[in-house]
Amino acid sequence: MANNKSEPGRTVLQGATVITEEAVFEDGVVCFQGEQIEFAGTREAFAESPFASGSATVIEAAGGYVVPGFIDLHVHGGHGSDFMDAEASAYDNITVHHALNGTTTILATTVTASRESINRVLETAWAYRSGPMPGAKLGGVHLEGPFISPKWPGAQNPAYIMPPRRDWLEAWEAQYPGLIRVVTLAPEREGALEMIGWLADHGIVASAGHTDATYDEITAAADHGLTHAVHTFNAMKGLHHREPGTVGAVMTDSRIQAEVIADGHHVHHSCIRLLAQAKGPDGLVLVTDSMSACGLPAGDYKLGELDVVVDGGVARLKEGGALAGSTLTMLGAFRHAVTAAGMSLRDASKAASGNPARELGIYHETGSIAPGKQADLLWLDRELALSGVWVNGRRLEGQG
């Protein structure tokens, strides 16, 4: 790295393979000034651009890759903290940990809990977003439950599962406008279709999960505005050749984005490959569904109010043994998608960054490397390990 006396905030990453949605640039350059990307392309084209003149901080990234920062739509916690803790210090801990593993935008994801507990998360997230955030940007809240199916609780607490309550959502949206970005529910439950329509009308992603819905019920939900499915294959009605179920509908309906937890435990790599082929490069979203044990050793933990044991990197409920979130990072998901499931770097990058950005309606700001977008960037080596993380143009210390 050569550090020159620089125009404030200008940085040039050069020599890496730069992966954009439009092209892959060998011996590429990404130049950003402050929070904003100014240039992305070949070294030759950069030399002829107006950004090549003047001083800058130049980083030689030859032999590596530069990809957009990851966006995690489904994450409960990490490094000993849970978003349900509803404390700013816990949110700092989570967002810094995940940022150091490649996530630059994150959704605080709840578990099925009491209304009061969810209220506390919303209140904390609302205040947190108004101040400086030291790690990943908190893009909003993902409500996973409580409007799910008691037949498919997974690691959700059955005591709090209930039918859809649109009045709760209306009150939350009125008090915290724009904060709730995703709501996961079981579309077959009474009142769910009306709730899905309301969510769509208010720009909130309606997501199917923890559901016993049939193929026809998922199709009807998509007709009402359902556009997402959480942790596809897990905690949902499976695929059968005479009743394609939730999984069959998610795989074949182009209106629905399919989340997958690519950790090698939740879904076999061949099924990740199958899902990627079925959904195409625009229809898959990588997530972690990570819980507080992410980044910590084996032992006993909590997911909401439920006891969890982590062994060999796998989190399971102590009672019943159901998978209880994960210890995955987005970098781990990205690497597994490429090395085990056989996805191209470009397609894996879309699944980890571009596709979730589009779903959240923030693709004009982030999710890909392009001039005018936020400098949310990752520098990876050839083994896909992190060499650098930038959030809004600010390099994080201790990354990797």
- Among all residues, which ones are annotated catalytic? 289
Backbone angles phi, psi at 179, to 5 degrees: -75, -45
Q: Could you give the CA distance from residue 274 to residue 202 in angstroms, rounded to a whole number?
A: 33
- ∠ CA 89-289-332 to the nearest 5 degrees? 95
The 3-class secondary structure across 286-335, one letter per residue, is: EECCECCCCCCCCEEEEECCEEEEEECCEEEECCCCCECCECCCHHHHHH
Tell me how crowded residue 314 is: count the other CB atoms within 10 A of its CB.
17
Q: Could you give the CA distance from residue 222 to residue 346 in angstroms, rounded to a whole number?
A: 28
Does residue 155 come out as left (phi exceeding 0), alpha (psi in the -120 to 50 range) or beta?
Answer: alpha
**3-state SS, residue 147:** coil
Q: Are 400 and 99 in contact (CB under 8 A)?
A: no
- ∠ CA 193-199-204 to the nearest 5 degrees? 140
Nearest CA to 179 among 99, 114, 119? 119
Q: Are 239 and 248 in contact (CB under 8 A)?
A: yes
Q: How many helices (H) and strands (E) does the chain have?
A: 11, 22
Q: Could you give the CA distance from residue 32 to residue 24 in angstroms, rounded to a whole number?
A: 18
**3-state SS, residue 216:** helix
**3-state SS, residue 74:** strand
